[in-house]
Amino acid sequence: MAVAFSTLAGGVTAAQGFRAAGISAGIKASKALDLALIVSDRPAAAAAVFTTNRAQAAPVLVSREHLTRSSGAARAIIVNSGCANACTGDEGLAVAREMAEETARIVGCPAEQVLVASTGVIGVALPPEKIRAGLPIAFGALSAGGGGDAARAIMTTDPFPKEAAAKLPLGGKEIAIGGIAKGSGMIEPQMATMLGFVTTDASIPVPLLQRALREAVDDTFNAITVDGECSTNDCVMILANGASGAIVDEDQSTYASFVGALTAVCRELALGIVRGGEGATKLVAVNVTGAATAAEARTCAKAIANSPLVKTAIHGGDPNWGRLIAVAGRAGVQFELSRAAVTIGTIVLFEDGRPHDENAPQAAEYLKGKDLTVSVGLGAGSASSTVWTCDLSAEYVRINADYRT
């Protein structure tokens, strides 16, 4: 069904009853913003999805624990950038717990109603004294207009902040959904995103909120890749405080409308991550059609989107359709070469087992653009999937060659 929503300014504070702040706590040597605080004026239903990486960072472990202990209730999210607090042992867990406890003390809620996230270099100790000193400043800076600062405070190598929001009528009232996200490299979440935080002023039970978040994530954050890497800290969190008075329940119309708008917000954030991928100059939608199943379509699309050969060809504007066919053929999905096809933009380069190299100059011209689509037909069925990726440039190598130094 069509969802009647419209875009909205304000990001994570677009919804009623949420305030945010971003400040410099001195975690980053550059003194850039590095501590974000998001607070709901009332207890909110909370849900999250976390990284599937088995090397899970301390804040991931603590936030999982808090969601269980609170039965999905939260008042605040505290986030730092500049240090991942990952692979830091018992000391790192203690710092993550202290972040929650100090936030709870200042906000005035139980510690289990605080969620924690961190991003930055793995294996480096997070200085708790900087969090302790920064938290009161962040609390004092909270405002309904603070979403932009919070978006900047969670950035690492991101070239720009990511914000999105939407509003829609629901049950005779109007609700808002807004969010911020960060991510630029080490991107193929396999659950959610690098870091993403979403708020809404709708009222929705925790189990339904968790279901809605997973549905939205599947076709947005789980459908992007920059470099095929799954981080130790990936998570997306959502708070729903009910301040609008609108209720989302099992009724198909309200739930479908809510999920539609939530997906739109998450997709805008996810595409922002790909646009801002480390060294990226092009956003690329990889469409796989003619697959035997939706799962096989997604598998093949991810394989194409992660191929260094495909990504470098796109960066160089080379319409090398053979690289796309080669990846499709080795992706481990059903594939019929005699019925396969490759299209760059709307330009057919390979179809039913035959090349159309006479179209290569047109395709090369198309590849000079910044927003691109490449499509591969597998000739094995009717299922399809889209994954978004970016090109691979020398700048990606430069950024990651000296990330720590």
Q: Give the CA angle between residues 10, 11, 16 to the nearest 5°.
A: 65
Please tell me the distance from the alpha carbon of residue 75 to that of residue 337, in angstroms, as a whole number. 54
CB 235 within 8 A of CB 60: yes
pLDDT of residue 1: 46
* % of the chain surpassing 90 pLDDT: 84
pLDDT at 193 over 90: no
pLDDT at 286 over 50: yes
pLDDT of residue 191: 61
Measured CA to CA in angstroms, residue 261 lies from 215, 229, 251, 324 at distances of 12, 28, 16, 33
**Which residue is it, tokens 């800290």?**
233
Please tell me the distance from the alpha carbon of residue 135 to that of residue 395, in angstroms, as a whole number. 35
Please give the class, per CATH, of domain 283-401: alpha beta
pLDDT at 6 over 90: no
Q: What is the pTM of this model?
A: 0.91
Q: What is the pLDDT of residues 56-111, one digit of tens each?
A: 999 999 999 999 999 999 999 999 999 999 999 999 999 999 999 999 999 999 99
pLDDT of residue 190: 73
Q: Annotated catalytic sites, by residue?
A: 193
Please give the class, per CATH, of domain 6-273: alpha beta
Domains of the chain: which residue ranges? 6-273, 283-401
**Which residue is it, tokens 């209730």?**
73
pLDDT at 53 over 60: yes
pLDDT at 214 over 90: yes
pLDDT of residue 36: 98
Q: What is the pLDDT of residues 312-353, one digit of tens each?
A: 999 999 999 999 999 999 999 999 999 999 999 999 999 998
| Residue 360: strand, helix, or coil | helix
CB atoms within 10 A of CB 368: 9
